Structure 1
Amino acid sequence: MMNISRALRAAVAALAIAVATTIAATPATAAPLPTVVLVHGAFADSSSWDGVAAQLRARGYSVVTPENPLRGPANDAAAIQRTLDAIAGPVVLVGHSYGGTVISNVHDPKVESLVYIAAFAPVRGEFAQLALDPIRFPGSQLLPPALQLKIVDDPRGLAGRNLDAFVAPDRFHDVFAQDVTPETAAQMSARQHSIAVVANLEPSGPPSWADTPSWYLVSGEDRVIPASSERFMAQRMGATTSEIPASHASLVSHPTEVAELVESAAAH
């Protein structure tokens, strides 16, 4: 009986060691990847993110590309907030161009990081048009005749928001996206959404980037928002900044670099 008892105890001890070793060797369950929400800017639509979204999804991210109403920072931030309300986990919020103004006005604790792609990043009380000041930041070609106006029927009845701006089709390639093919530029131009003129004149609220880690990708050959303006805003907000030789439409012409920056922000 003594030998059997000793053998049993030895077997139990060996099993316990084996179980402990297996547990120690099993890697901890990785935290779920954040959902990436990509917010387009003016003169574009959600399809402008297609290349970036495809790369992020291939890397395992859930990606959402809501339509930005382009009516003004407060209204548009509320629209993006409704998208965030339907997301359970952490979020990386990304904005291109005017989309940067929008994400700067979104305040949601689920947003763990912000990414700005050739984007406006206003301080409180500032409106986006100031970033195009030709004296401080010369070089924008987003001027008439490239920039055109039209009257739109706004079913929401937002006062003063039925005068819209858009980029003339014959100037879209040269001004907005000079580093994509003419065919791609033509498709982008045909899908562009106009923006309420007052949207870029509406004072921004307290910026979310003030208390959220932020990344900024400067387009060094931007003909819409001058690169000098982008560098100024990125430095002012204390963003982790990088730069590529790209047009304003870097998300279309350089989707790999944009996706890699978003992934860096997701991994911080």
Structure 2
Amino acid sequence: MDTNYKYYKEITGELVRVHIEQDITPENPRYDWDGNIGHMMCWHRDYQLGDYKENSYSDNLDFLNNLLRARVSESTILNFVKNHRAANFLTLDYDRHRKVWVLGQELRHEIPNFRVIEENEKKEWLVDAVIDALLQADKWRLLERHAGIVYLPLFLYDHSGITMNVGGFHDPWDSGQVGYIYTDKKTIMQNVGGYYVGNNVDGRFVKTTERNWKKVAYHDMESEVSIYDQYLTGQVYGIITEEFDTDTGTWEEQDSCWGYFSDKWGDDLIEEIASEYGITEELHDKAEAA
């Protein structure tokens, strides 16, 4: 970590120096911050990731099946298959002769891995069998269309530390999908006014509407994953300012501020943090220049 000092003169004429250090006890943005719009569900044998306190599901399929069950009606799920909309060509037909529902696939017979539901058994068993047979992509399609839920996949790279993103890593050995982040239309419309295209200083503000709420949702979910990745990778810092005591000839700590998340480092980070916290004077590499 580059902790080189930057120097400047305060209005009072006192010589002050600034440097940065890594924050070794940063806040967890998933639990110590308010206002997250996404639910981050992850599964990993070695790490507790994302919103782990809310994740009681055994794996991603258990989670996705329960989410679909809770947010989409039984009739919608069954009609999706009956109307031949499933990407894996599922079929659902009633055999009047045997008095059973037959779950199958086009150009094939019954699917042996899924139970055949008798007429006098509970409808929810039939729905469970259909949900188990659907591809994950179709489950997310149903959730988006009928529950206003959108998601992004989460990938983890684990090698001498861990890092997370939504696009994946070019390393099949040390990386892979670890979960999802998802949100819904109601959350976005009620809590997110919009987003900036570019940065907050020079960017253009785009207001959330019925037409663009999905784009706003993806933007905010990506931002939450980026911030969480900075937490995972230790890109959280503190800025320390020290004032020179002319009587003792030593530097005395004046102030410090911790918990600054940034993907910058070195001089760029010092200057960004210094500007953020009101140090607007010109920064110098040496005390003599200041």
What TM-score does the superposition give when structure 1 sets the normalisation length? 0.25
Which structure has the highest strand share of the two? Answer: 2
Q: Larger Rg: 1 or 2?
A: 2
What TM-score does the superposition give when structure 2 sets the normalisation length? 0.23
Which structure has the highest helix share of the two? Answer: 1
